[in-house]
Chains A and B, each alone.
Chain A
């Protein structure tokens, strides 16, 4: 158990809809990262928050947004969903704001999103 909690584990929805994925980081971790894993793809970095503020942005679509709340949990909002958004979405956490070469990320078990 990594200590990172993601809910829900599975989500099935229709095109055009909006969903929210939730992540609670490990106790004491201030950074939360969101990654997307599509079929046969590696984990693609979407966005990072550190202590409530956006720290880094990757290949995140404009239809997607995220935030980190004062209790450090994070939510990833996906709107106007398309078939191609079907993927496994991972949340990870780390203790610092990132940038340390040897920093380890601890991953949740992911949310499997299926857009029909």
Chain B
């Protein structure tokens, strides 16, 4: 039972355009959401996060949107750059029970074409 789902295994975008990565979750106990980025032969690194009390968080070219009623979040990258090509993992966490541990989605491979 996947509690965090990333339904698009891959996404290709032209350099300079917007990249939109999507994530859905099912556990209503999740209160905090994170995006991690992973390059080949490296471990995931933290990118950006959002608390459930917010609907948007922005950091430079990266913005995460949270729609709590739809249990959906998205990561926008504007403008996309070739160096953004990586696997992006959505992750979620709550404060009690099994939700206390970070739960990850299966990842989306983003390719930014020059």
Contacts and interface: CB of A to CB of B under 8 A. Distances in A.
B51 A107 contact: no
B95 A101 contact: yes
Nearest to B41: A109
Given A107-B43, A107-B44, A101 B93 contact: yes
The secondary-structure label for the interface of chain A is loop
Interface string A49-74: 00000001010000000000000000
Interface stretch (B12-20, B58-66, B69-77, B104-112): B104-112
Contacts of B106: 40-42
Given A40-B9, A45-B101, A107-B45, 14 more contacts: A2-B43, A40-B106, A42-B4, A42-B104, A43-B44, A43-B89, A45-B102, A99-B100, A101-B93, A101-B95, A102-B32, A104-B46, A106-B46, A108-B43
14 contacts: A2-B45, A4-B43, A6-B43, A40-B9, A42-B107, A43-B104, A56-B101, A58-B101, A90-B44, A99-B95, A101-B94, A102-B32, A107-B44, A109-B43
Interface of A: 2, 4, 6, 33, 35, 40-45, 48, 56, 58, 90, 92, 98-99, 101-102, 104-110
Interface of B: 2, 4, 6, 9, 31-32, 34, 36, 41-46, 49, 51, 89, 93-95, 100-107
Closest 10 CB pairs of A and B: A107-B43, A42-B104, A101-B32, A43-B104, A42-B106, A45-B101, A109-B43, A107-B44, A104-B46, A42-B105
